[in-house]
Structure formats: structure tokens, C-alpha cells
A and B are shown apart, each in its own frame.
Chain A
Amino acid sequence: MIGLDSLGTVWSEIFNFSDYGQLLPLLKNSIIACVVLGIVGGLIGVFVMMRDMAFAVHGVSELSFAGAAASLLFGASVVTGALLGSLTAALLIGILGARARDRNSVTAVLMPFGLGLGILCLGLYHGRAANKFGLLTGQIVAIDDPQIKSLIVISAVVAVGLVVIWRPLLFASTDADVAAARGVPVGLMSIAFMILLGLAVAVSVQIVGALLVLSLLVTPAAAALRVSSSPVWVPLLSTAFAVVASVGGILLAAGSSVPISPYITSISFAIYLTCRLLSVRRTSHRSTEPAHAT
């Protein structure tokens, strides 16, 4: 029975809803942060998928982590550090990696450098251990009022920026040659996109942690693309998926002693799996239809 007992302990550490009523008000900031992050992650994820930049997102988040860790060490603002790190990485990858092959190698070079730098800073840092761990794997109630304000402002910049450049960015991401011929400033679009991506990553790193950014910036969009091809539905679904994953994550994490990120990644993954299963049914349906004459 020892096995069952310890299983019960583990279970109550993962899911524990006693005192839930008192906890929720304390979580207000975090819930707001998660909604905002879900919206931003879901929207930008669509373009991350279209531009085939999932790996670059991972690279940017490691440098964002390095920036945040350095600020922790030097007592500066974590938000500023995360921003500086991710913007530098995003611009480097955007400028040096205009072609996909270059981009992957630039990312692969930057990523371990960022991670190593971050770990060095954390190694030298002697403050609260929870802060350290949080930058890699996410944190929960730790979001205070000034931090939430900056998160919301940055997220708003990303959302508004994306809406403003939506159509030309979609065009440039679909077919850069034709878009350029039509007068879309293709080079400007990719730099603008990298800046917005850098901002989105900097926000995500502070909530889900550097190692798990992809679960909000890529998985929801990948799931949405499995079940729809409409340029209207894909971003809407992707945003809905990301919000469900992040807010669901925080509500489940509230009662437990485990960080938020495993909940977010699990929900996100479950959504993806469901969409994949749905899409298998969808395509097998389609292939049984007679091919239309052309």
C-alpha cells in the first residue's frame, strides 16, 4: 500500500484544490498575464509556423533567459533584461539568417551561448532560488504589480503591431517574391516581425520559462493549422487554444506546489493531439472523395 500512498501524495501535490477560494484573488495578476500572453502567443504563432521559425523562437528564448538571469544577478529589472536578450537575438537571427539554412545555423550557435551565459549568471546569483528556477521553467504567483503592467504594455505593443502589419506580413510570409513585386516592403516586414517576436518571447519567458516558450508560441498555432486553413479561423483558434492552455495552466497550478509550466505544456499538447486526430479524420474523408477534374 506504500505505493498507493506515495501516489496519493504526488497526486495531491499536482492537484490540490483545498483553500482554492482564498487563492484565486491572489492570482488575479497571473490570470491577467496568462490571458494576455495567450492572445499574443496564439497570434504570433501563426506567423512563426508560416515562416518556419520554431527553432528560431527557441533560440530567442534562450537569449532572453540569459538577459533575465543577468539582470537578476546585477539587481536590474528582469523585464528589461529579458527584453534586451530577446531583441538582440531576434535581430541577429533576422539579419544574419535571412535564408532558412543560415537562420538555423545562426540559431544553433546563439542558443547554447545564451543558455550557458544564463546558467553562469544564475550560478553566481545568491538570491531567492525560486527566481532562478522560474526563468527556466516558469513561475506563478510571483507576478507583482509593476511587472504585470510592463507585461501588458509589451503584449499590447505586439498585438497592435501584428494587426497593423497583418496583411503584408501574411503576403510576405506566403510568397516573398510576389509580395515584393506587389510593393510589399518584404525586408522591413521580416525585421518588424522579428522585433515583435522578440517582445512576445520576452513576455513568455517570464511566465512559462525559457525552456517552454514553444508551448505557447508554436503548439497552439500548429494545432489550429491542423484543423483549419482559413486565414480568419487559424489565428482565432490558435489564440483560443493558447489562452485555454495558459489560463487553464494557472488555475490547475494554483493549488499545487509544482510550477505552472507542466500544466500549460500538457494542456497545449493535449489540444494539439486532439487537433491532429481530428485532422486525420478530415484528410481521410477527403481522400475518399473523387479527385476533382482540373
Chain B
Amino acid sequence: MSVVLRLERAALGFGGRALWEGLDLEVSSGELIAVLGANGSGKSSLLKVVLGQVRLWSGSATFLGSPVRRGDRRIGYVPQQRLAEDGVPLRGRDLVALGVDGHRWGVPIPSRARRQRVNQLLSSVGAEAYASTPLSSLSGGEQQRLRIAQALAADPRLLLCDEPLLSLDLPHQRLVSDLVDNARRRLDLGVLFVTHDINPILDKVDRVLYIANHRFRIGTPDEVMTTDVLSELFDAPVEVIRHNGRILVAGVPDHDPYHHPEAAVLR
């Protein structure tokens, strides 16, 4: 197991306000880390740092031994879900093809190798059935599968997924997390998986990075998801209940309950 991503004493914030500070994190190949935290705690921003799109306040972020940079194709990215709108001239396979060679100049030249690569990626996420369906008429779950295939197209060493389960029903949540899990085992990928509910991926997670209150905790789910650790992290009495293999966190204080009512609900 080699280290793919390393953050050292990393701090980030915007407009003089810190999101998190002193973050030390190592992601090894084949390791799946869940990134948890309330809305606005800086989870997406962490991924942007790794993508080289946002600069750290201080500390360092290195990917495969060199400082992170923009447009490194060895990082796969599945952004926070946005459904494709009408008026996009793409079908399922075209979205995946953009992952293969969308960064190259010119118009795509059809070739057998290209078609095979796209077919192989489509079948790796079980999306052959809607390869030729317009993107805009696919469901959220179907689009998410295609996005994962697109992210895997460039043989990445690290996969960043930003809330890939958001607004999916339970069967699709399981399906998409299985896909990510299979991919990281098959390709020996490091994975940062941002989610606000750990349960759909609980049995796959190696470690948890929980961000709250400008601070964080890192460890296995058993180490982090406890009443003591989370109460200390949130500076408030939080109760963690384990029930039927699920983790329920009650009493998480929310700075903005009006906008994010789901964060205050017992999960």
C-alpha cells in the first residue's frame, strides 16, 4: 500500500474565515475514506484543494509525491450531482467518451480502440443498456453511474466523489457505493468519498474524516463514530446510536437549521 495523497498541516478558509486547520491526512492506494461533516464545513473545498483549484492557506498537499496541480488526469472526479438538462447533445456513451479523450483538441475521430474503451467502461458500471439514451432522459442514478465510468476513464490513482449518493433512492445508493467499492479494489484506487450519511457505505469505509467546528477527527468508523468523540468535536452533547449495523447520530448542532433542515434530523 503506497500513499497516493498526503496533506500536511493543511489549513483552508475563505475571506479570513477558516474552514479547517492543521489537517494531516494520508490516503493510500486501495483505501476508501469517507468525508463527513455538516453543510458548509469544507468537504467540497477539500476536494477542490486536491484538484489544484483552490489553494491552501498553509501546509501542503502532495499527490504521488509532487504538489497537487490543476488538471492532473490521474485524479478522477465525480462532482456534486447535477442532472443534465435538456438540450445537451450527448448520450450515455458520449459522456463516458469525454472522460476518455474530451481534453484533446479537434473533433473526435471514431476508431475501434476508442469504441472498445468506452464499451468496456460502460460495462464496468453496468450501463450498457442506456449507452445510446439521451443524457437528459436518464435518471439520477443512471447519470451517476455514467459519471463514475467517466471518472475511471483515464486510469486514475485517486477518485474524488462529492456526495455521489445525494438524492438517490436506497437501492441506487447501494448500487453506486458498490460500484465505487469495486472500482477501488479492482484498480487499487485511493478514494475520498464525501457524504453526509455514512450508512450506505459503512461496510466499505476504511477510515472516516469527520469535519466540524473548524476541526476534524480521523480514524476508523469505530474510533470516530462514538458519542464521546463526536460530542467533543461538536462541543455539544451528541449521541451516537448503533442499531442493526447502522449508525445514528442524534443532536448534531446546526448553525443553519433553516437552510439545511436534514442535518438536524436523527439519522
Q: Across the interface, which residues of A come within 8 angstroms of B75, CB to CB?
A: 181
- Interface class of chain A by DSSP: helix
Shortest distance between the CB of A50 and any CB in chain B (Å): 6
B89 touches A228 (CB 8 A): yes
Q: Which of A174, A178, A286 contacts B90 (CB 8 A)?
A: A174
How far is A278 from B70 in the complex, measured between Cα atoms in Å? Answer: 44
**A6 in the interface (beta carbon within 8 A):** no
- Given A178-B79, A228-B89: A167 and B101 interface contact (C-beta under 8 Å): yes
Q: How many residues of A contact B (CB 8 A)?
A: 35
**B98 in the interface (beta carbon within 8 A):** yes
Q: How many residues of B contact A (CB 8 A)?
A: 45
What 1/0 flags go to A220-235 for Cβ under 8 Å of B?
Answer: 0010110011110111
**A13 in the interface (beta carbon within 8 A):** no
A167 touches B70 (CB 8 A): no
Q: Across the interface, which residues of A come within 8 angstroms of B151, CB to CB?
A: 178
**B30 in the interface (beta carbon within 8 A):** no
Which residue in chain B gives the minimum CB-CB distance to A176?
A: B79
A 159-211 contacts with B by CB, 8 A: 163-168, 170-171, 174-175, 177-184
B88 touches A163 (CB 8 A): no
What 1/0 flags go to A85-119 for Cβ under 8 Å of B?
Answer: 00000000000000000000000000000000000
Q: Find the residue from A165, A168, A175, A235 having the highest chain B CB count within 10 A.
A: A175
9 A-B contact pairs sorted by A residue (CB < 8 Å): A164-B105, A168-B103, A183-B71, A225-B89, A229-B89, A229-B91, A294-B141, A294-B142, A294-B172
Give A contacts to B, CB under 8 Å: 46, 49-50, 52, 163-168, 170-171, 174-175, 177-184, 222, 224-225, 228-231, 233-235, 286, 292, 294
List the 6 shortest-distance A-B pairs measured between CB atoms, nearest first.
A183-B71, A229-B134, A171-B102, A234-B89, A181-B77, A177-B79
